Amino acid sequence: MDIKTKHKVDANFSMSSMTDIVFLLLIFFMLTASFITPSGLPVNLPSAAASNIVMQKNSVTITEDLRYYVNDKEVSLNSLEQELKNVINGPEGSITLHVDKTVDSEFLIKVAGIAAKLEQKVTVVTKPE
């Protein structure tokens, strides 16, 4: 007398649902990581009560020892305007300023004046308190 069961247990495990979850997590982290584009230069940013994350395309960095960088490329103050003309795409653009908190405001005003002359909006980067 041979007794056979009608319900057999399948020992195979399907990984398709697990790979779907992994790919969704990968896409999520890739998208959220691209929203924050930190400056590669060591600048001690001032803090502010309200700080928004802004997608930056063109950035100007002023370090503690008054060196100027346009998109991580070092330039002098005299050639700053010409370098900004080369990197901006047109009027009504945006320039992000990364200024060390020990730098006097007159240097920030000089760069903001150059940006205003080139018809660019200026955003000063701060870190949240």
Express each pLDDT in 55-100 by its tens digit.
557 888 888 888 899 888 888 888 888 888 888 876 667 888 888 8
pLDDT above 80: residue 28? yes
pLDDT given at position 24: 92
Q: Which two tokens stand for residue 14?
A: 């399907």
Q: Which two tokens stand for residue 71?
A: 């998109």
Q: 3-class DSSP state for residue 19?
A: helix
Q: What is the mean pLDDT of the chain?
A: 79
Q: pTM for this one? A: 0.56
Q: What percent of the chain has pLDDT over 70?
A: 77
pLDDT above 70: residue 42? no
Our CA angle for 64, 60, 96, nearest 5°, is 115
Residue 68 buriedness (CB in 10 A; 0-12 / 13-18 / 19+): buried
pLDDT given at position 38: 58
User: β-pairing, 58-62 with 93-99?
Assistant: parallel
Q: What is the CATH number of domain 47-128?
A: 3.30.420.270
pLDDT given at position 34: 62
User: β-pairing, 58-62 with 68-70?
Assistant: antiparallel
pLDDT given at position 26: 92
